[in-house]
């Protein structure tokens, strides 16, 4: 007789959202696979339809990565999230007055 039960298997997964050009995807896959501790590296890509300002920002950010340019310099840093009091949010943006 089969017993149904709910089992919880805790994992410490991290989801990173990033943007890349089509011609850089294979390099990104190879890098992810080289550092993944999973049996199967779980990297995936989604098509994106951004507004004009976002597309321009991304195009400008990737422009220096044309063929023949040296690779970007890596920085020893960790992204960190923190809670910000609602009344401070307006003073933490680029367009804050």
Q: List, for residues 48-84, the tens digit of each pLDDT value.
A: 888 999 989 888 888 776 666 777 777 787 767 777 7
Cβ proximity of 53 and 61 under 8 Å: no
* 30 inside domain: yes
Domain count, the chain: 1
* 51 inside domain: yes
Which of 25-34, 38-47, 67-76, 81-90 shows the lowest mean pLDDT across its residues? 67-76
Instruction: Please state whether 29 falls in left (phi above 0), alpha (psi between -120 and 50) or beta.
Output: alpha
* 88 inside domain: no
Tell me the two tokens of residue 68. 């023949």
Q: To the nearest whole percent, how much of the chain has pLDDT over 70?
A: 84
Contacts of 3 (CB under 8 A, 6+ apart): none
* 84 inside domain: no
* 22 inside domain: yes
* 45 inside domain: yes
Tell me the two tokens of residue 22. 């089509």
Domain range spanning residue 15?
8-69
């Amino acid at each position: 007789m089969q017993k149904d039960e709910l089992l919880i298997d805790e994992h410490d997964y991290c989801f990173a959202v990033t943007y890349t050009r089509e011609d850089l995807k294979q390099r990104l896959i190879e890098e992810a696979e080289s550092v993944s501790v999973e049996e199967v590296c779980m990297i995936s890509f989604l098509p994106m339809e951004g507004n004009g300002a976002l597309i321009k920002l991304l195009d400008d950010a990737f422009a220096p990565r044309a063929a023949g340019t040296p690779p970007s310099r890596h920085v020893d840093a960790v992204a960190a999230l923190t809670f910000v009091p609602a009344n401070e949010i307006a003073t933490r943006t680029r367009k804050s007055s």
